[in-house]
């Protein structure tokens, strides 16, 4: 049983790491001040949706968000570090850096990715401890689907805005 759980956990970590690390950001092309505001709105939406999906009651809310917020803060910090390392790597490629410099920058990015993977596993383990098995299953499902649903909402909103701008005949 432990062997199966380990494989499942590894698969889950891989899936969620892909989601957290490489998922396309719906706010990537927004100006910096607007980006921060939009990111905050997205985080608030995520928290509201989590409350709905997990059906948290009473002190469960405090326990869950205590763990969630701790890991979210670390995730944001690591994400910034990964983004910085990725920009440095791109700059090195664009500037025609030496193979040695490229290896150094590539190693930096890979180290940040590995740190993100470790954080995802830590977060999953910590959150599993404060949720029931049903709530945890809902949490995992939510995390794998939230970004896709968010992007779908944004596309729909843009579609509606474009529809409203078109001249009526």
Residues 94-136: tens digit of each pLDDT: 999 999 999 999 999 999 999 999 999 999 999 999 999 999 9
Dihedral of the CA atoms 6, 11, 15, 16 (nearest 10)? 0
Put simply, whether the predicted model's pTM sits higher than 0.75 gets the answer no
Q: Are 159 and 99 in contact (CB under 8 A)?
A: no
Domain locations along the chain: 2-165
Cα separation, 51 vs 168, in Å, equals 41
What are the structure tokens assigned to 68, written together?
């969630």
Q: What is the mean pLDDT of each run of 10 residues along the chain (169 residues)?
A: 42 44 44 73 87 91 93 91 95 95 96 94 95 95 86 82 69
Instruction: Identify the pLDDT of residue 8.
Output: 42
In the chain the first and final C-alpha atoms are separated, in Å, by 65
Instruction: Identify the pLDDT of residue 69.
Output: 92
């Amino acid at each position: 049983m432990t062997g199966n759980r380990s494989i499942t956990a590894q698969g889950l970590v891989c899936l969620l790491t892909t989601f957290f690390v490489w998922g396309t950001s719906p706010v990537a092309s927004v100006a910096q001040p607007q980006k921060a505001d939009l990111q905050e709105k997205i985080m608030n939406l995520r928290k509201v949706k989590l409350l709905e999906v997990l059906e948290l009651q009473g002190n469960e809310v405090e326990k869950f968000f205590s763990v969630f917020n701790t890991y979210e803060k670390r995730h944001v910090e690591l994400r910034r570090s990964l983004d910085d390392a990725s920009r440095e790597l791109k700059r090195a490629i664009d500037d025609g850096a030496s193979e040695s410099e490229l290896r150094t920058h590539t190693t930096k990015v890979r180290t940040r990715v590995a740190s993100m993977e470790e954080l995802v596993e830590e977060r999953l383990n910590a959150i599993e401890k404060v949720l029931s098995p049903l709530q945890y299953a809902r949490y995992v499902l939510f995390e794998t689907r939230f970004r896709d649903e968010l992007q779908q909402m944004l596309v729909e909103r843009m579609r509606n805005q474009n529809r409203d701008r078109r001249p009526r005949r």
